[in-house]
A and B are shown apart, each in its own frame.
Chain A
Amino acid sequence: MSERIYVFKLFERFWHWAQAALIIFLMLTAFDIHGTYTIFGFEKAVAYHTIAAWTLIGLWVFAIFWHFTTGEWKQYIPTTEKVVAMMNYYLFGIFKNAPHPFRLTTLRKHNPLQRLAYLFILVCVGPLLWITGGLYLFYDKWPAWGLGNLPLEWVATGHTIGAFMMLAFLIAHVYLTTAGHTPTAHIKAMITGWEEVD
């Protein structure tokens, strides 16, 4: 028998989907700016990318506030417990219909691999994108900030590295949503808040 538990609160779901849409839109415009393809054209792509970036920053302000006031930030504290078990599950168990080694609760809604992945995004990819992106946004202020000699190439290359990492994460992330109790269990949970568990 399966049971249902409430894992994602309303704000959290809003945050997730708004962020998802913004990040996908940022990627779409990003590779337009990068010269990979032309959808909006450089000028519009830059304008849209900038608006989306500022919107995302605004969203984060609320998300950070929410995480600290609700204590939900603790969900991202890394743990080594069951990491090997999780990797074994994804590499072997999942094909043998073995039981999921992690049983989520409202207090531990991310499995150990998720925690590590999200923390990596938060600590490595995020700051790389924020710092380089922030510098990009304030390109005209560099001389005033004493950064007149900072090569744009470094900033641009750093931002591009971050973008590729984020894109790879996005692909894996979307795929792993199908690895729940049923292929759509995780997605349903992210929409309704309720996750079916074994």
Chain B
Amino acid sequence: MEARYIKATLALCCAAWLAATGPVLAEEAKPEAKPVKLTTTADHTKFKQLQKTFDSGPEVTKACLECHTEAAGQIHRTKHWKWEFLNPETKQTLGKKTILNNFCISIASNYASCTSCHVGYGWKDANFDFAKQENVDCLACHDTTGNYKKPPGFAGNPVTKDTEFPPGSGKIIKGIDLAKIAQKVGKSSRDTCGACHFNGGGGDGVKHGDMDSSLAAPTKDVDVHMDAEGLDFTCSTCHKTSSHDVAGSRYTPTAKDNKGVQVRGKAGSGNPATCVACHDNAPHKSVARLNQHATRIACQTCHIPTYARGGIATKMTWDWSTAGKRDKDGKHIILKDAKGRITYESRKGDFTLAENVKPEYAWFNGNVQFTLLSDKIEKTGQRTQINKMGGSPTDGKSMIWPMKVFRGSQPYDPVNKTLITPHTAGNDDTGFWKNLDWDKAIPVGMKDSGAPYSGKFDFIKTEMSWPITHMVAPKDKALGCVECHAKEGRLAGIQGVYLPARDNNKLVDTAGWAIVLLTLLGVIGHGALRIVTSRKH
């Protein structure tokens, strides 16, 4: 009896041990982890079209188009493809193809480098064929392996065979296997969008400040929505795509969305990427007073206390006027700060960088007017605004927005009074990044832009504003009242609103304190007189 009991106990123990360790052992034995979410109904490894060697990007696209027959046509209609955008309000023709900034300035004459971020293959000069279907790059957005790379200098083409680049440099760019990548295509991800958008301005976090590689797998504190262990939003959760056209725009941003939640069948603001599109116009439940704040203040102002919060610094200034210096051996100079960040490069000039930056704030109504190459500019005491953000407290369309204001100094033509599009990138005799010679670089760039150049250049101080909208903090990290309700608070420079604690009526305060003081003096005098006279009696 007792022996049987012991046997049974042993058997039970063994079974429990197996049950506990079995799954672990099985998992260890698995060759490859399955994706966490199965987001597709098609296993692309099974498609014959993809079971071959691809020597170039367009070959992959041709294979994609055999099934996804309309995909390229959809891409052809988007900003991602055209890099061109006609602003219906200002009538300005914008887009990366046309505008200038105060980072790397312009893509004209620098296509082969810049177009590594184009959703296409082969845009190496102004003659690129935008009508060709196989020029569309599907993998840039649909790669799930993380192995897809489009190095600068190849006009948006991936490198499929080991290649020395630049030629003669001895540096080898390893070729990638496009078939493996093509067989694993899936939905766009933070990584695919981020491959370009995290690196705007030429490096991680450089341009935007609220977008950098920390958003690839952010903590809750960096981004409450994208929190990799929480809500785990991808970019397209908010930037809801329709027919391959991604919602959201820096040319026509939605500064004020008063149309509430976007419900199926109900027309919203048209932009599904706004906070309001999910949260509605009155999202504060416990402190209703904040909903009144939300009629004048963009959500981002309080809910993004600082940008560049993920440990990656963003560029704050860029002074091109100091570029071109060489060391005593005639070589390019690179200076770094204590944290190893580049603060000077012969190719680019001086930079300052910062993390955890408090934004600047401005009334913004969504109207953005660019200073284009065709616009006349004057060198004055004030900085030239590359993009002028419209807005006022009284136009009924503006909200108080947080901005990254990027300040720099860049070449301009003092005779023709225009900005300049220099030839920077390029393994040739005129590229500034190679030869550090403005006199060679500027004429080539201006010619490519089709703009006149007087032959004289100078540097002009410019600024560019970037509305901050990413890196939304958890609600307990939102700004406290006193950040703005104070004499020298964050909104110290904002006109047109009465802010208790910041503002007062000077006359009322002066008169009020005068009355209080006179009353006090009166009673003290009266009391003193009473004491004096009472002694006499």
Contacts and interface: CB of A to CB of B under 8 A. Distances in A.
Interface in A33-48: 33-35, 41-43, 46
Contact of A172 (B480, B487, B509, B523): B523
B90 interface: no
Contact of A160 (B291, B295, B509): B509
A140 B537 contact: no
Interface residues of A, number: 34
B contact patch SS: helix
Nearest to B512: A164
Interface in B472-488: 480-482, 485-487
A175 interface: yes
14 contacts: A35-B485, A41-B482, A46-B481, A95-B533, A140-B291, A141-B288, A152-B497, A152-B498, A152-B500, A153-B505, A156-B503, A160-B505, A175-B526, A175-B527
Given A35-B486, A43-B480, A164-B512, A97 B537 contact: yes
B486 A168 contact: no
B508 to A, nearest CB: 5
A171 B512 contact: no
Interface string B492-529: 00000110111111001101110110011011001101
B52 interface: no
A139 to B, nearest CB: 5
B289 interface: yes
Interface string A14-41: 0000000000000000000111000001
Contact of A175 (B500, B503, B512, B523): B523
Interface of A: 33-35, 41-43, 46, 90, 94-97, 139-143, 151-153, 156-157, 160-161, 163-165, 167-168, 171-172, 175-176, 178
A141 B533 CA distance: 57
B522 to A, nearest CB: 8
Contacts of B520: 171
A160 B508 contact: yes
Contact of B523 (A140, A156, A171): A171
Contacts of B486: 35, 42
B154 to A, nearest CB: 55
A160 B497 CA distance: 17
Contact of B516 (A139, A143, A167, A176): A167
B512 A35 contact: no
Contacts of B295: 143
Interface residues of B, number: 38
Nearest to A167: B516
Given A96-B533, A139-B292, A34 B523 contact: no
A94 B527 CA distance: 10
B519 A168 contact: yes
Contacts of A167: 512, 516
A42 B513 contact: no
Contact of B519 (A140, A163, A172): A172
Nearest to A183: B530
A26 B522 CA distance: 24
B40 interface: no
B512 A33 contact: no
Given A168-B519, A172-B523, A35 B501 contact: yes
Question: What 5 A-B pairs have minimum CB-CB distances, sorted nearest first?
Answer: A164-B512, A175-B523, A153-B498, A35-B501, A95-B533
Nearest to B511: A164
A172 B515 CA distance: 11
B291 A156 contact: no
Nearest to A91: B526
Nearest to B289: A140
B328 to A, nearest CB: 56
A176 B523 CA distance: 8
Given A35-B486, A42-B485, A95 B530 contact: yes
Given A42-B482, A97-B534, A140-B292, A160 B512 contact: yes
Contacts of A140: 288-292
A104 to B, nearest CB: 20
Given A42-B500, A152-B497, 19 more contacts: A35-B485, A35-B502, A42-B481, A43-B481, A43-B485, A95-B530, A97-B534, A139-B292, A140-B288, A140-B291, A141-B288, A156-B498, A157-B508, A160-B508, A160-B512, A164-B515, A168-B515, A168-B516, A171-B519
Interface in B197-242: none
Contacts of A176: 523
A94 B523 CA distance: 13
B292 to A, nearest CB: 5
Contacts of B482: 41-43
Nearest to B521: A171
B530 A94 contact: yes
Given A97-B537, A153-B498, A161 B530 contact: no
A41 B513 CA distance: 21
Contacts of B516: 164, 167-168, 171
A151 B497 CA distance: 9
A42 B505 CA distance: 18
A161 B508 contact: yes
B500 A156 contact: yes
A42 B508 contact: no
A34 B501 CA distance: 4
Contacts of A96: 533, 537
A14 B126 CA distance: 87
A35 B482 CA distance: 10
Contact of A33 (B500, B508, B515): B500
A45 to B, nearest CB: 9
Contacts of B527: 175, 178
A157 B516 CA distance: 17
B523 to A, nearest CB: 4
